[in-house]
Amino acid sequence: MTIFVWVFCVIAGLIIVVMGIGVLCGGAPFVPTRREWIDEALKLAQVGKNDVLVDLGSGNGEVLRMAIKHGAKRAVGYEINPLLACWSRVRLKKLGEKIEIRSKDFFRTNLPNDTTVIYLFQVDKVLKKIPEFLLQQKAHLKAAKLRVIVFGFKIPDREVIRESNGMRLYEF
Ligand SMILES: C[S@@+](CC[C@H](N)C(=O)[O-])C[C@H]1O[C@@H](n2cnc3c(N)ncnc32)[C@H](O)[C@@H]1O
């Protein structure tokens, strides 16, 4: 085999690992939300200086970076794929303590108690479990109301508060 075939195999393997770990763990693969859509989501939820945004499956961390750009005081990402968690930490290091990335399955953790906004780009199987998860989490959260933005998919049996180009806003 030539060196080119080896390089191709290594790159293809890396892409499969980066995209696929979320799926092996029962969640969505890594597919980043486009910047203009993230912008739309942050406007839909009116993210501002009193907000702490949490991205449940934070991928490359771009949603977190843009939340800070929109004025959020802090942004926290949970990412099950350690490669993506590591990469996003490196990319966002310059934003210092405003951003934190936790390399964990979000279903097996407690959200920060100052969470006000949640972003989700996950598959139906995951979204089905979200109401129960958030209602449990609310027991220790300070905010009386959580704004939850869901991209592309729907939380079953839950009223949509506002909607724009595939972004849906819910309240819990
Ligand atoms: C569709 S991508 C969205 C990435 C990012 N939020 C964005 O919108 O650009 C979903 C991400 O969730 C991660 N993921 C899937 N299940 C997870 C879980 N239970 N806990 C933490 N991360 C998870 C995947 O590894 C993947 O990076």
- Counting the structural domains of the chain, the total is 1
Residue whose pair of structure tokens reads 């009223």 in the numeric block: 159
Q: In testing the pocket of ligand 1, which one of 60, 79, 118 has its CB within 8 Å of the most ligand atoms? A: 79
Greatest CA span in the chain, whole angstroms? 61
d(CA 17, CA 155): 28
Residue 163, strand partner residues: 168
Strands (E), the chain: 52-56, 74-78, 99-102, 117-120, 147-151, 162-164, 167-171
Whether residue 77 is predicted with pLDDT greater than 90 in this model: the reply is yes
As a whole number, mean pLDDT of residues 72-76 equals 98
For ligand 1, atom 11, the nearest C-alpha belongs to 57
pLDDT tens, residue by residue, 97-135: 999 999 999 999 999 999 999 999 999 999 999 999 999
Residue whose pair of structure tokens reads 């790159």 in the numeric block: 11
Give the pLDDT confidence score for residue 107 in this predicted structure: 97
Residue 170, strand partner residues: 148
For residue 23, give the ligand 1 atom closest to its CA: 15
Please tell me the distance between residue 89's alpha carbon and the centre of ligand 1 in angstroms. Answer: 15
- 3-state DSSP assignment of residue 102: strand
Q: List, chain by chain if needed, residues with CB within 6 Å of any ligand 1 atom.
A: 21-22, 25, 27-28, 30-33, 55, 57-59, 62-63, 78-81, 84, 105-107, 121
For residue 151, give the ligand 1 atom closest to its CA: 8
Sorting pLDDT into bands at 50, 70 and 90, what band is 28?
confident
Burial of 10 (0-12, 13-18, 19+ CB in 10 A): exposed
d(CA 51, CA 72): 5
Q: Domain of 93: which CATH number?
A: 3.40.50.150
Give the pLDDT confidence score for residue 18 in this predicted structure: 65
Q: Which of the 8 DSSP states describes residue 69?
A: H
What domain range is 53 assigned to? 3-171
How much is the CA Rg of the chain, to the nearest whole Å? 16
d(CA 135, CA 82): 27
Q: What percent of the chain has pLDDT over 90?
A: 83
pTM of the model: 0.91
